[in-house]
Structure 1
Amino acid sequence: MKKSSKLLSRKPLFLLLYLFLSVLIPEQLMASKALEPPQAIITGKVTDVNGLPLAGVNVIVESTDRGTISDLDGSFRIQVNSGETLVFSIVGFKSLRVPIEGADFVNVVLEEDVTQLGEVVLNAGYYTVSERERTGNIATIKADVMEKQPVGNPLAAMQGHMSGVNIVQSTGLPGGGYSIEVRGRNFINGATDPLFIVDGVPFGPQSLGASRVSNEILGGNVSPLNAINPNDIESIEVLKDADATAIYGSRGANGVVLITTKRGKAGKTRFDAQLSTSFGKVSRFLELMDTQQYLEVRREGVINDGYGSFLDNPSFDFVWPDIKSWDNDRYTDWQKELIGGTAYRNNAQLSISGGGQSTQFLISGAYQKETTVFPGDANYQRATIRSQVDHRSDNEKFKINMSMSYSNENNQMPGEDFTGKAYSLEPNAPALYDDEANLNWENNTWDNPLAALEESYVAKSNTLLSNAVISYAILPNLEFRSSMGFTSYRLDSYRAMPSSARNPSLGLTPQNYSHLITNASQRESWIVEPQLHWKKKWDLFSMDMLLGTTFQWETTDQLVVRGLGFPNNGLIHNLAAAQTLEVISDMDSEYRYNAVFGRINLKVLDRYILNITGRRDGSSRFGPGKQFGNFGAVGMAWIFSEEPIFGPESFLSFGKLRASYGSTGSDTIGDYRYLDTYSVSGNDYDGVTALEPTGIFNPQFGWEENRKLEAALELGFFYDRLVLNTSWYQNRSSNQLVGIPLATTTGFSQLTGNFDAVVENTGFEVDLQTANIQSKGLRWSTTFNLTVPKNRLVAFDGLETSTFANRYVVGEPLTIVKLYHALGVDPETGSYQFEDYNGDEGITRSEDRQWIEDLAPTYYGGLGNTLSLGNFTLDAFFQFKKQKAYNTLRYQSTPGFKGNGSVELFDRWQQPGDMVTIQRAYSGLAPTGGSDEFQKESSAAISNASFIRLRNVSVNYKVPTLEHGLDINVYLQGQNLWTITDYKGPDPEQPTSLRLPPLRQVSLGIQVSF
Structure 2
Amino acid sequence: MTKRSLMLLLMLVATVTAFAQVRNVKGKVLDKNKQPIPGAHVLLKGSRIGSSTGINGDFSIKVSDANTTLIISMIGYKTKELAIGKQNEVVVTLEDENIQLEEAIVMGYGTKRSRESVVGAVEQISAKELKIDRVTESVDKMLEGRIAGVYIENTSGDPGTASINIQVRGQGALSKVSSSDIVSSSQPLIIIDGVPMNDASNPNMDKKFNNDVTQTNPLSLINPEDIETLTVLKDAATAAIYGANAANGVILITTKRGQSGKASFNISHQMSVGNIINEMKFLNTDQYVKLAIEAQTNAGVDLATATEKAGPTNINTNWYDLVTRQSQTSQTNLSVSGGAGSTTYRFSAGYNNTKTITLGNQLSRITSRLNLNTKLSEKTDFDLVFGFSMSDKDAFSIYGTAFAFKPNLSPYNADGTFNNNPPFDKIANPLAALAQNKNQKKDYYTNGSATLNYHFSKDLSIRSLFGVDYTNNRSYIFDSKKNAAGANSGGRVKDVYQMQFNWINSTSIEWNKQLAEKHNISALAGIELTDKKSNGLRATESKLPIEKLPIIGIGSDENTSAYASESSEGTLSYFSRLGYSYGGKYNVSINARRDASSIFGGDVQAELFGSIGATWNISKEDWFPKKYINYANVRASYGSTGNSRIGSYSARGTYNYSGSYVYNGMGGSRPSTAPNPALGWEKNYKLNLGADFSILKSKVNVSVDYYRNNIYDAIQSLYIALESGFSSVSANTSDMVNKGIELTIRTRNFDKEFKWRTNFNISSNSNKITRLSNNLDKLAQSGYTFTGLKVGKDVSGIYTARYAGVDPQTGTTLWYLKDGSITNDAKLANSIENRVYVGKASPDFFGGFTNDFEYKRVTLTIATTFNIGGHKAIPYNYLYMNSDGRQILIQNQSINQLNRWTTPGQITDVPKLSTDNYVGYGSTRYLYDLTNVCLKTISLSYRIPSEIAKKVLLENASFNFQISNLGYWYKDKKGGSGNGIAEYRYSFPEARQITFGLDLKF
Q: Confirm whether residue 874 of structure 1 aligns to residue 874 of structure 2.
A: no
Task: Return the offset for 1:641.
Answer: 1.0
Check if 1:855 corresponds to 2:841. yes
The one-letter amino acid of 2:352's match is Q
Cα distance between partner residues in 2 of 1:706 and 1:57: 35
Matched, 1:1003 2:995: yes
- One-letter code of the match for 1:738? Q
Residues 1:347 and 2:331 are matched in the alignment: yes
More displaced, 580-589 or 914-923?
580-589
The normalised TM-score by structure 1 is 0.83
Name the structure 2 match of 1:694.
672
SS, match of residue 238 in structure 1: strand
How do 1:490-569 and structure 2 match up within 5 A? Answer: 490-502=472-484, 508=487, 512-538=489-515, 539-569=517-547
8 A Cα contact 2:357 2:991, kept in partner? no
1: distance between equivalents of 2:394 and 2:71?
A: 52
CA distance in 1, matches of 2:479, 2:988: 21
Unaligned runs of 5+ in 1: 1-47, 49-53, 60-83, 102-107
Tell me what 1:389 maps to.
Answer: 372
Do 1:564 and 1:578's aligned partners in 2 also have CA atoms closer than 8 Å? no
Q: Distance in 1 between matches of 2:980 and 2:118?
A: 38
Alpha-carbon displacement from aligned partner over 1:146-187 (angstroms, at most 9, x marks no partner): 222111111111112111111123322222122211111122
Separation in structure 2 between the aligned mates of residue 89 and residue 266 of structure 1, nearest angstrom: 25
Aligned to 2:775: 799
Give the superposition deviation at 1:941. 1.4
Shift of 1:242: 0.9
Write out aligned runs for 1:748-897 (5 A): 748-755=726-733, 757-775=734-752, 777-800=753-776, 807-837=788-818, 843-844=827-828, 845-882=831-868, 883-887=870-874, 890-896=879-885, 897=887
Q: Deviation of residue 625 (structure 1)?
A: 2.2
Mark the CA change 1:840 to 1:275 in structure 2 (over 3 Å): closer, same or farther: closer
Alignment-derived partner of residue 975 in structure 1: 964
Distance change >3 Å, CA 673–CA 989, structure 1 → 2: farther
Task: Describe the shift of the 1:707–1:100 C-alpha distance in structure 2 as closer, same or farther (beyond 3 A).
Answer: closer
Q: Which of 711, 728, 732 lines up with 1:733 in the alignment?
A: 711
AA in 2 matched with 1:124: M
Structure 2 equivalent of residue 439 of structure 1: 418
CA contact (8 A) 2:170 2:767 kept: yes
Aligned twin of 1:360: 344
Q: What residue is the counterpart of 1:75 in the other structure?
A: none
Measured in 2, the distance between the counterparts of 1:795 and 1:277 equals: 52
Residues 540 and 552 in structure 2, CA contact (< 8 A), matched pair in contact too: no
Superposed CA offset, 1:170-225 (max 9, x none): 32222212221111112222211111100001111324588667757xx7321122
| Cα distance between partner residues in 1 of 2:695 and 2:537 | 59
Instruction: Specify the alignment match of 2:61 in structure 1.
Output: none
C-alpha deviation, 1:371, in angstroms: 1.3
Which residue matches 1:153?
A: 138
Corresponding letter in the other structure for 1:940: R
Say whether 1:170 aligns with 2:151.
no
| Residue 381 to residue 672, structure 1, CA distance change in 2 (3 Å) | same
Deviations 1:560-612 (A, max 9, x none): 11112210211223434355455553111111011101011111232111111
Shift in Å, 1:781: 0.5
Q: Structure 1 residues 694 and 214 mapped into 2: Cα distance closer, same or farther (>3 Å)?
A: closer
SS at match of 1:962: helix
CA distance in 2, matches of 1:113, 1:347: 33
- Structure 1 CA distance, aligned partners of 2:702 and 2:606? 40
Q: Deviations over 1:481-522 (max 9, x none)?
A: 11111121111111111111328xx9x37xx43111111111
What amino acid maps onto 1:231 in structure 2? E
Residues 946/444 of structure 1: CA separation in 2 closer, same or farther (3 Å cut): closer
SS at match of 2:690: strand
1:242, 1:664 within 8 Å by CA — same for their partners in 2? yes
Cα offsets for 1:697-724 (capped at 9, x unmatched): 3211111111111111111123322110
Secondary structure of 2:741's counterpart equals strand
Distance verdict in 2 for CA 1:86–1:572, change over 3 Å: farther
| Mapping 1:157-306, distance limit 5 Å | 157-177=142-162, 178-188=164-174, 189-207=183-201, 215=211, 220-306=214-300
Local SS of the residue matching 2:108: coil
Residue in structure 2 matched with residue 8 of structure 1 by the alignment: none
Q: Provide the C-alpha distance between the structure 2 equivalents of 1:227 and 1:207, rounded to a whole number of angstroms.
A: 15
- In structure 1, distance between residues paired with 2:968 and 2:77: 36
Q: Which moved more, 1:186-195 or 1:433-442?
A: 433-442
User: Partners of 1:214 and 1:745 in 2: how far apart?
Assistant: 29
Q: Helix, strand or coil: the match of 2:548?
A: helix
Q: Which moved more, 1:565-574 or 1:484-493?
A: 565-574
- The Cα shift of 1:427 comes to 2.6
Higher mean C-alpha deviation, range 804-813 or range 742-751:
804-813
Q: Secondary structure at the match of 2:997?
A: strand
Deviations 1:631-667 (A, max 9, x none): 001111111111112255x131110111111111111
Summarize the Cα distance change of 1:443–1:358 in structure 2 as closer, same or farther, 3 Å threshold: closer
Using the aligned pairs only, state the percent identity.
25
Matched ranges for 1:610-621 at <5 A? 610-621=588-599
8 Å contact kept, 1:737–1:754: yes
Alpha-carbon separation, structure 2, partners of 1:905 and 1:116 = 54
In structure 2, the residue matched to 1:714 is: 692
8 Å CA contact retained: 1:817, 1:854: yes
* Counterpart amino acid of residue 540 in structure 1: K
907 and 561 in structure 1: CA distance in 2 versus 1, 3 angstrom threshold: same
Shift of 1:441: 3.6
Shift of 1:347: 1.4
788-797 or 367-376, which moves further after superposition? 367-376
Q: Is residue 287 of structure 2 the alignment partner of residue 308 of structure 1?
A: no
- Listed one character per residue, the Cα deviations across residues 32-56 of structure 1 (whole Å, up to 9, x for unaligned) are xxxxxxxxxxxxxxxx9xxxxx776
Aligned to 1:939: 924
| Alignment-mate amino acid for residue 404 of structure 2 | S
Cα offset for 1:289?
A: 2.6
- Structure-2 separation of matches of 1:655 and 1:144: 26
Partners of 2:495 and 2:525 lie apart in 1 by: 46
CA distance in 1, matches of 2:985, 2:844: 18
Aligned position for 1:40: none
- C-alpha distance in 2 between matches for 1:685 and 1:698: 27
In 1, are the aligned partners of 2:659 and 2:666 still within 8 Å (CA)?
no
Matching residue's letter, 1:458 = Q
Distance 2:658 2:990 in 1: 38
Distance 1:94 1:242 in 2: 33
1:140 alignment partner in structure 2: 124
TM-score by length of 2: 0.84
CA-CA distance at 1:251 after TM superposition: 0.8
Matches within 5 A, 1:288-687: 288-311=282-305, 317=308, 320=309, 323-324=310-311, 326=312, 328-339=313-324, 341-356=325-340, 358-376=342-360, 378-392=361-375, 395=378, 397-414=379-396, 417-430=397-410, 432-434=411-413, 436-441=415-420, 447-453=428-434, 454-502=436-484, 508=487, 512-538=489-515, 539-577=517-555, 579-580=557-558, 582-646=560-624, 650-680=627-657, 683=660, 685=662
Q: Provide the C-alpha distance between the structure 1 equivalents of 2:982 and 2:570, rounded to a whole number of angstroms.
A: 37
Aligned-residue Cα RMSD (Å) equals: 3.2
* CA distance in structure 2 between the partners assigned to 1:309 and 1:374 by the alignment: 38
Q: Please say if residues 146 and 848 of structure 2, whose CA atoms lie closer than 8 Å, have aligned partners that are also in contact.
A: yes
1:239: Cα distance to partner?
0.7
- 1:287 counterpart SS class: coil
Quickly say closer, same or farther: Cα 1:253–1:581, change in 2 above 3 A.
farther
In 1, Cα distance between equivalents of 2:236 and 2:807: 54
Q: For the structure 1 residues 96 and 840, does the alpha-carbon distance in structure 2 shift closer, same or farther, using more than 3 Å as the test?
A: closer
1:524 Cα deviation from its structure 2 partner = 0.9
What SS is found at the alignment partner of 2:788?
coil
Deviations for 1:840-867, whole angstroms, at most 9, x for unmatched residues?
9755321111242212111111000111
